[in-house]
Structure 1
Amino acid sequence: MWIKALDKLLTRMKSCGFDFSRVKALSGSGQQHGSVFWRKGAAQTLRSLDPDLDLSQNLQDSFSVQDSPVWMDSSCRPQCDALERAAGGALTLAQITGSRAYERFTGNQICKVFQTRPEEFKLTERISLVSSFAASLFLGRFAPIDLSDGCGMNLLDLSQSDWSELCLNACAPGLRPLLAAPVPSSSVLGPVCSYLVTRFGFSERCSVVAFTGDNPASLAGMRLKPGDIAVSLGTSDTVFLWLQFPRPALEGHVFINPVDPQHHMALLCFKNGSLARERVRDESGGSWSHFSSALTDTPLGNHGNIGFYFDVLEILPAAVGVHRFDAHNNKVSSFPAHTEVRALVEGQFLSKRLHAEKLGYTIVPGTRVLATGGASSNPQILQVLSDVFNAPVYTIDSSNSTCLGSAYRALHGLLAESGVSFSDAVKKGSEPKLAATPDPEAKQVYDEMLKRFAQLEDRVLLESRPQD
């Protein structure tokens, strides 16, 4: 399916008159945590692609596992448990690889294939991530996995920027040769293959820069800088962090930074985003104007009232239900409508700040919050975001941040060997727009409130756990 999609894309571009000869470099991204199992003999097939045939025709017999496991795979719990035991516990594994064991992570998928489909595993010549698989199609040979996307496998040792022997051995013996050595995300892997030159008119000098995962590519597209935080306010809310000194924990994910391998990025995901905001909007007046007025008419800190709004089981923390507390930490059944709105929005942003700080994020002078997603169009919501983080909030148009980030990374790849930084390589890109600045009283209010919020979150988590 993926190969046929690329066939169609390139064919349509050619028929529309796109001049491939003008492309100096290309990169790309793939959905994280997917895996592709190349069949023995695939390397030779890649080297000798027939330009008279589609890629899908050339490669139809090149895979030992026909249906690629992807991020929606939730069947690897036994393998996750075994990997955490082998590492000495979930926290130890997180400290090694940046994440505790997750079912969707590629190492656990590989382990399951090794254990349950041994004959297919024996026929495997190479295992790619979706990103390195796509890069291989442009290179005409197996592309290495980049360090950033490699962090989504539970196999990469962050401190060594290489595969962890402990994790490799726990997943499958002899796994290292099937993965080959990972490379920095800015690596130029080589020129495009002769197949693309002949069939589509690419220049022989067009460089292929390492492909990466969709989340790292999105960070590049948003042009985060050291100390920045990006908050995507959608159906689920996602937080991207640029970290210099991460603290991997049992929650969230830490990756090697795709634009600076000396630094890291972290990813936090919260399920209860816009849908929770829309529900409270409907119950508190029925319009965004009422919702916005409630935020304007209530004070910073909401008179000490704090709320947790988990309409569905949350990821961070793993809790469900609506939990309201007054200024004395007493649980209450309801808030007035205006108080409810502010409790929701403050609670969502306090949670993001709390869990970001747990991973090593620190607000410093010069910190920027980059906001995107549907709710970033609401000035009052952005004002609360700015106040809670005590930092200016900027808005960005990142509807195609993953694709844009891939293009930025291709440009950086051409310049990186000359010592040009990513930020200098993309400095001509459009700048984010200032949308909100923090209230002078915000720091004192929310620094104190965050301490209470952390204690109450622990209480909510305890109350949400099933009783024996």
Structure 2
Amino acid sequence: MGRPFPEDALFLGFDSSTQSLKATALDSRLAIVASEIVHFASDLPHYKTSDGVYRDPSGGGRIVSPNVDVGRSSGAPPREAEERELRILESGGRLRQRAAARQRLLEEGSSAILASLDPQSGLLLQLSEAFSTKESPIWMDSSTTSQCREIEKAVGGALEVSTLTGSRAYERFTGPQIRKIFETQQDVYDDTERISLVSSFMASILIGGYAPIDETDGAGMNLMDLKERAWSKIALEATAPGLEEKLGKLALPTPSPEFHFKKSCLVIQWSGDNPNSLAGLTLNSPGDLAISLGTSDTIFGITDHPQPRLEGHVFPNPVDSSGYMVMLCYKNGSLTREVRRGSWDVFSEYLERRPRKAGIYYKEHEILPPLPVGYHRYTVDVDSATEREVDRFDAPSEVRAIVEGQLLSIRAHSERFGLPVPPRRIVATGGASANRSILRVMAAVFGCAVYTVQRPDSASLGAALRAAHGWLCERKAGDGALPEAGRAGRRGWRLRAYGELMRRRMEIERRLVEKLGRQ
């Protein structure tokens, strides 16, 4: 069987995450030939972000300037790495982008601005008048609780919203964020011609027009009917008037071609980070799970029979239009781990010790469970199934409690959501998946083999693979099968012991949530 791709083919995927922009380029053999990364805080210091975002000291707001995206996509300030990425683009690489759950509000007339972009000029100046607001909320934002409750009430309750859209109303989702802008800045909403996710916005820059929102990415908006794969009239009316026209069309979740960047380069629909990671990790069985250890921690897998609940999310399967992807998301991931990290060598040494303690530490207001910033330390006696709150831990116990506590919570909520525990295998990705000590704890907590991929940035890799798949789909060549993730290692487990420790942690979580509800 001959090669499905031309010898000179290049496929390029972008991962525009909270803290950085990554790019991965694949050749005709789907081997990585180039990769680059731009860290927003250090490489674009003039935006004065902290960990890639602006934090509102008075509340739960987390925003970023739309110009940060424009700045990083225009290659300013110039660097050798960005110039190399631009050379890949000029050679006809196929593109795909990962998005970080942000939306862009584009003013009346922005379609004309996009259509007249000059590739020889910087994007910052050309798009300076395109945005109807200077602030763009991101996935870490938690300032729209009242809007979430209003939407749930209008639709018929939180479970009804989850059944309809795949998720209950979440503060970071686009629907509640749009409702907040409509309620507090109606003039901004009225002046907005198009509302784009980062995925469709960045694609719009390349094609010189409005790109559609991908169904899988669009499912994370509280606006799409999950079963019908179309905008939900009920959800739209509960959010803001005249919204469907501002959103534009939805695109199928399968990697079908969309536009030509130039004659030799195809731009296919762009999607979100976790859908692209699922593609990059080639999860193809309901017994497979992936855990991404990044700025946020997520666990996701695929299913043919989704069961929407009050926690977690259901999306269309990004590589199979007949199935679904399920996901749980935790706001406190790597940024929380790094608070107690010091050096990775010391961090790993501490993790090798195994105290029976439990720690619940939130640097950001947590999504699952809904708990505020704070740290709660407990010593746990597994044999007697009791725990006692304490004021402090020594350094090894602190590190162990944070990592172990995060993974125990992921396992517990995964079981509640119907994901298989123990799974057939776990594929770990994200920056922290490079730490073998963390993976050993993961294998012990979940009781299964843990695999990793060659590179932890699976979102940009998955984006490039889906670009290659889209190229195949356009030419009807082959079935577009993706290569399997490589096995990195297997660890032993203590499933029963961790099961009891997990139950104690969930009891602590329940009491804390109840205490918060009474305050």
Distance in 2, matches of 1:215 and 1:314, equals 19
Q: Which residue of 1 aligns with 2:238?
A: 170
Rounded to whole Å, the distance in 1 between the matches of 2:183 and 2:479 is 43
Say if 1:41 and 1:344 are closer, same or farther in 2 by CA, change over 3 A: closer
Report the 3-state secondary structure (helix = DSSP H, G, I; strand = E; otherwise coil) of the residue aligned with 2:489. Answer: strand
Cα pair 2:94 2:265 within 8 Å, conserved: yes
2:333 maps to 1:269: no
Structure 2 residue 199 is the aligned partner of structure 1 residue 126 = no
Q: Report the 3-state secondary structure (helix = DSSP H, G, I; strand = E; otherwise coil) of the residue aligned with 1:64.
A: coil
Corresponding residue for residue 6 of structure 1: 73
Change beyond 3 A, Cα 1:136–1:85: same
Choose the corresponding residue for 1:294, options 353, 364, 368.
Answer: 353
1:18 alignment counterpart: 87
SS of the equivalent of 1:436 reads coil
* 1:254 is the counterpart of 2:314: yes
- The structure-2 alpha-carbon separation of the partners of 1:237 and 1:141, relative to structure 1 and needing over 3 Å to count, comes to closer
> Which amino acid is the alignment partner of residue 252 of structure 2?
P
Bigger Rg, structure 1 or 2: 1
After superposition, the C-alpha distances for 1:321-380 in whole angstroms (9 at most, x for unaligned) are 12333222333356998998876655433321111122221147733342553365234x
Amino acid at match of 1:432: G
Find the aligned partners of 1:400 and 1:251 in 2 and give their Cα distance: 26
- Return the letter of the residue paired with 1:238: T
**Equivalence for 1:197:** none
Please identify which structure carries the higher strand content. 2
User: Cα distance 1:291–1:67, how it changes in 2: closer, same or farther (>3 A)?
Assistant: closer
| TM alignment of 1:157-196, pairs within 5 A | 157-185=225-253, 186-192=255-261
What is the distance in 2 between the residues matched to 1:264 and 1:228? 12
Other-structure match for 1:328:
384
Is the partner of 1:27 in helix, strand or coil?
strand
3-state SS of paired residue (2:353): helix
Tell me, yes or no, if the aligned pair for 1:221 and 1:398 is still in contact at 8 Å: no
Aligned counterpart, 2:212:
144
Note if 1:230 corresponds to 2:319: no
The answer (yes or no) to whether the contact 1:246–1:361 under 8 Å persists in 2 is: no
Please point out which of 259, 268, 273 is paired with 1:209: 268
User: 1:92-138: per-residue Cα shift (whole Å, max 9, x none)?
Assistant: 21222222222222112222222333333333222111110111111
1:367 aligns with 2:435: no
d(CA) in 1 for partners of 2:288 and 2:369? 23
1:310 is aligned to: 361
For 2:435 and 2:128, the matched residues in 1 are separated by: 46
* Residue 39 (structure 1) aligns with: 107
Higher mean displacement: 230-239 or 148-157: 230-239
Counterpart of 2:74, as a letter, is D
Question: Bigger shift: 223-232 or 270-279?
Answer: 270-279
Change (3 A) 1:365 1:212: closer
Distance verdict in 2 for CA 1:182–1:294, change over 3 Å: same
Paired residues of 1:371 and 1:393 also in contact (CA < 8 A): no
Q: State the distance in 2 between where 1:46 and 1:344 align.
A: 46
Q: Compared with structure 1, are the counterparts of its residues 386 and 141 closer, same or farther at alpha carbon in structure 2 (3 Å cutoff)?
A: same
Q: 1:314 to 1:27 in 2, by over 3 A?
A: closer
Check conservation: 1:412, 1:420, Cα contact below 8 A. Answer: no
Separation (CA, whole Å) in 2 of partners of 1:235 and 1:9: 24
CA RMSD of aligned residues (A): 3.7
Cα distance change, pair 331–415 in 1 and its aligned pair in 2 (3 A):
same
Query: Corresponding residue for 2:411?
Result: 353
Instruction: Determine if contact 1:382/1:435 at 8 Å carries over to the other structure.
Output: no
Deviation at 1:457, TM superposition (A): 4.1
Matched, 1:396 2:457: no
- Closer, same or farther in 2 for the Cα pair 1:79/1:293, shift >3 Å? closer
Q: Which stretch of structure 1 is more off in the superposition, 175-184 or 357-366?
A: 357-366
Structure 2 residue identity aligned to 1:323? Y
Q: Give 2:45's aligned residue.
A: none
Higher-helix-fraction structure: 1
State which drifts further: 152-161 or 234-243: 234-243
2:161 touches 2:168 (CA, 8 Å); kept in 1?
A: yes
* Cα distance change of structure 1 residues 445 and 325 upon mapping to structure 2, 3 Å threshold: closer
| TM-score normalised by the chain length of structure 1 | 0.79
Moved more, 392-401 or 15-24: 15-24
Q: Give the equivalent residue in structure 2 for 1:63.
A: 131
Please report how far the alpha carbon of residue 149 of structure 1 lies from its aligned counterpart in structure 2 after TM superposition. Answer: 1.4
The reply on whether 1:412 has 2:498 as its aligned counterpart is: no
8 Å contact kept, 1:372–1:395: no
Deviates more, 1:336-345 or 1:101-110: 336-345
Aligned residues with identical type, % of pairs: 37
Q: In structure 1, how many angstroms separate the alpha carbons of the residues matched to 2:142 and 2:352?
A: 42
- One-letter amino acid of the structure 2 residue matched with residue 3 of structure 1: V
What is the match of residue 220 of structure 1? 279
The match for 1:433 is 487
Alpha carbons of structure 1 residues 436 and 134: separation in structure 2 relative to 1, 3 Å: same
Given the superposition, is the C-alpha separation of residues 172 and 438 from structure 1 closer, same or farther in structure 2, using an over 3 Å criterion?
A: same
* Native 8 Å contact 1:241 1:356 kept in 2: no
Q: Distance in 1 between matches of 2:235 and 2:477?
A: 33
